[in-house]
A and B are shown apart, each in its own frame.
Chain A
Amino acid sequence: MNGRRQVAVTGMGVVSPLGCTLNRVWERLVRGVSGIRPISRFDASAFASRIAGEVVEFDVDAYIPKKEQRRMDPFSHYGMAASKMAVADAGLDFSAMDRRRAGVLVGSGIGGLQVMLDQTRVFLERGPSRFSPFMIPQMITNILSGQIAIEYGLRGPNFAVVSACATATHSIGEAMRLIQYGDADVVLAGGAEAPICELGVGGFCAMRALSTRNDAPTKASRPFDKDRDGFVIAEGAAVLLLEELEHARQRGARIYCELAGYGRTCDAFHITAPDEGGTGAAEAMRLAMDDAGVGPEEVDYINAHGTSTELNDKCETLAIKTALGETQARRVMISSTKSMTGHLLGAAGAFESLVCALAIAHGVVPPTINYETPDPDCDLDYVPNTARETRVRVCLNNSLGFGGHNATLCFRRV
Chain B
Amino acid sequence: MSLEEKVKEIIVEQLGVNAEQVKPEASFIEDLGADSLDTVELVMAFEEEFRAEIPDEDAEKLTTVGAVIEYLKSKGFDKQLEENKSSNG
Contact = CB atoms under 8 A, between A and B. Distances in A.
A67 B16 CA distance: 5
Contacts of A137: 37
B37 A133 contact: yes
Interface string B29-65: 0000000010011001000000000000000000000
A251 interface: no
B26 interface: no
A133 B40 contact: yes
A132 interface: yes
Nearest to A136: B37
Contacts of B81: none
Interface string A175-217: 0000000000000000000000000000000000000000000
Interface size on B, as a range, is: under 10
Contacts of B44: 130, 132-133
B41 A65 contact: no
Contacts of A66: 16
B16 A132 contact: no
B3 interface: no
B15 interface: yes
Contacts of B40: 133
A134 interface: yes
A132 B40 CA distance: 8
Interface in A105-145: 130, 132-134, 137
B41 A133 contact: yes
Q: Which secondary structure dominates chain B's binding surface?
A: helix
Contact of B16 (A65, A130, A133, A134): A65
Interface size on A, as a range, is: under 10
Interface string A329-352: 000000000000000000000000
A134 B15 contact: no
Interface in A239-283: none
B15 A67 contact: yes
Nearest to A71: B37
Nearest to B17: A67
Contacts of A65: 16
A132 B42 CA distance: 10
A132 B14 CA distance: 13
A137 B37 CA distance: 10
Nearest to B44: A130
Interface centre among A66, A67, A134 (most CB of B within 10 A): A67
Interface in A19-49: none
B15 A132 contact: no
B72 to A, nearest CB: 19
Nearest to A67: B16
A65 B40 CA distance: 20
Interface string B1-20: 00000000000000110000
Contacts of A133: 37, 40-41, 44
Interface in A53-103: 65-67, 71
A185 to B, nearest CB: 31
Nearest to B53: A129
A134 B37 CA distance: 7
Contacts of A132: 41, 44
A259 to B, nearest CB: 37
A67 B18 CA distance: 12
Nearest to B36: A133
A130 B40 CA distance: 11
Given A133-B40, A134-B37, 13 more contacts: A65-B16, A66-B16, A67-B15, A67-B16, A71-B37, A130-B44, A132-B41, A132-B44, A133-B37, A133-B41, A133-B44, A134-B41, A137-B37
Interface of A: 65-67, 71, 130, 132-134, 137
15 contacts: A65-B16, A66-B16, A67-B15, A67-B16, A71-B37, A130-B44, A132-B41, A132-B44, A133-B37, A133-B40, A133-B41, A133-B44, A134-B37, A134-B41, A137-B37
